[in-house]
Amino acid sequence: MGVVVSLEGGRNKKPSLTPLMTLVAEDLRAVNELIIRRMDSPVAMIPQLAGHVVAAGGKRLRPMLTLAAAHMCGYEGTRHIALAACVEFIHTATLLHDDVVDDSELRRGLATANAVWGNKASVLVGDFLFSRSFELMVEDGSLEILAILSRASSLIAEGEVLQLITTNDTETGETAYLDVITAKTAELFAAACRIGAVIPGRPKVEEDALETFGMNLGIAFQLIDDVLDYSAKQATLGKTVGDDFREGKITLPVVLAFRRGDEGERAFWRQTLEDLEQGPDDLKLAIELMERHDALADTVERARHYGAIARDALGIFTDSPEKAALVDLIDFCIERAH
């Protein structure tokens, strides 16, 4: 039962985001105010479009990581506010460009910025937010943090290009898939956490521990996201089911179902995901094939494995409400699947 360690001690309690949200609530309000203030521009379309994305932007998981990690490291100043905003700006810029690249029309049940303002404006406002993020980092003045976040940004872009190449390629293996999600998702989680230790100048071992925590949490988070795209649970979260399928994205549930399937099934995956020839019942059939081969359940198991590593990475920190909330966050990210 080693890999389900992340639920031990809380086995009867449904994991929740509430402890984390409560701990960082005041800071997060300050982050949100700063985001609104710093995405302003005399060019009115910029705050309009950026405001739409930021407002639709969900839970603010990444800036919460920076805030909670900084507190866990004993930080009592205010620099973490602006740096958490930087992390969210980078995330928002990549969302804008992602939706252009994926031709997405909906995100969390709302029209995407590109659906409302067009692809061109989304590309340019993404560039603006990205630049603005670096301006904020420069104001903070830590070259170490600039190095961490500029490296994360390069890796995200690299991961997105890699994903573009693997899309529609059913030969993609688990390692190539992991490379993609590590770069496009987990690197920013890792950077967001790491800077929580850099801000108060904690020893490198704590920076490394937080990076490991963030990296593995990010991988687990993305694995569960990919499961949810084929799960009925998804509809209850206000998201559409089957986006990845329609775009021919190769995620771990597909990788597992493809490899465990027979030749007939592989022909089905090639036709639907490579040639994008999809009939009205094909998504349902895809989910059935995944369930037949335990592809969804086993993807959740893989996520538990990374979640367990994330949990152990926090072992070097003394107990605190923030540490407990970050551990809860791992469980929350994984148990979303059920």
Residues that bind a second copy (CB under 8 A): 41-43, 45-46, 93-94, 97, 100-101, 119-121, 123-128, 130-132, 134-135, 137-139, 141, 143, 146-147, 150-151, 153-154, 156-158, 160-162, 164-165
CA distance 256 to 229: 15
Nearer to a second copy, 3 or 161 (CB): 161
CA distance 299 to 301: 5
CA distance 248 to 169: 8
Smallest separation, CB 190 to a second copy (Å): 15
Nearer to a second copy, 5 or 164 (CB): 164
Nearer to a second copy, 192 or 308 (CB): 192
Record the tokens describing residue 200, joined without a space.
């108060």
Smallest separation, CB 76 to a second copy (Å): 24
The DSSP element (H or E) to which 111 belongs, if any, is: strand 110-111
**By the 8 A CB rule, do 87 and 192 touch?**
yes
Record the tokens describing residue 96, joined without a space.
């804008």
Nearer to a second copy, 158 or 208 (CB): 158
Smallest separation, CB 259 to a second copy (Å): 23
Smallest separation, CB 96 to a second copy (Å): 10
**By the 8 A CB rule, do 211 and 194 touch?**
yes
Nearer to a second copy, 110 or 124 (CB): 124
CA distance 64 to 85: 10
Nearer to a second copy, 156 or 210 (CB): 156
Nearer to a second copy, 109 or 201 (CB): 201
Nearest Cα to Cα of residue 330 among 219, 197, 251, 234: 219
**By the 8 A CB rule, do 190 and 214 touch?**
yes
Record the tokens describing residue 84, joined without a space.
């958490």
Record the tokens describing residue 298, joined without a space.
């086993």
Smallest separation, CB 197 to a second copy (Å): 18
Smallest separation, CB 209 to a second copy (Å): 23
Smallest separation, CB 247 to a second copy (Å): 11
- In a 3-state reduction of DSSP, which class is residue 107? strand
CA distance 83 to 30: 11
CA distance 40 to 51: 9
